[in-house]
Amino acid sequence: MLKGFRDFIMRGNILDLAVAVVIGAAFKGVIDAFTAGVVSPLVGLVAGQNFDTLTLELTDDVVIYYGAVITQIINFVIVASVLFFLVVKPLNVIAERRQRGEGPEDVPPTEQELLVEIRDLLRAQAQ
């Protein structure tokens, strides 16, 4: 069982996953700043107030900050949109092209194949 776990770790997938998590965390900071600095003020301008200040007081001690939930929903939609349009959509287009055979050659010719082709061209020119 430990050998299987070690093979999983050494395969490289775990490293890719770790890099993705770190990049995702950094990207979340950018999206949070964009939402707080650009989107929320624009939506507040249209709606007449900032979402972060929206609350519902049930009692003196219990306050529900539903504006923060709205802000997080906006963050989620922005992140999902960016991932879809900049990652998922282009990769789907590339996969479709490869299925149709429109993509670049899968295997470039080897050095030996290139040398044989050059030799044959030189023989044809000499004749």
Closest listed residue to residue 56, CA positions, set 70, 72, 75: 70
Nearby residues of 41 by Cβ (< 8 Å), 6 or more positions away: 50
Residue 104 has pLDDT above 70, yes or no: no
Q: If pLDDT is split at 50, 70 and 90, which confidence band does 116 have?
A: very high
Q: Are strands 63-64 and 56-57 parallel, antiparallel or unpaired?
A: antiparallel
pTM score of the predicted model: 0.53
Give 73-96 pLDDT, tens digit per residue: 887 888 788 778 888 898 888 888
What number is the average pLDDT over the span 39-65?
A: 80
Share of the chain above pLDDT 70, in %: 87
Report all structural domains of the chain as residue ranges with CATH numbers, in order of start: 2-126 (1.10.1200.120)
Give 12-26 pLDDT, tens digit per residue: 667 777 888 888 888
Confidence (pLDDT) at 9: 66
Confidence (pLDDT) at 42: 80
Distance CA 57, CA 41 (A): 24
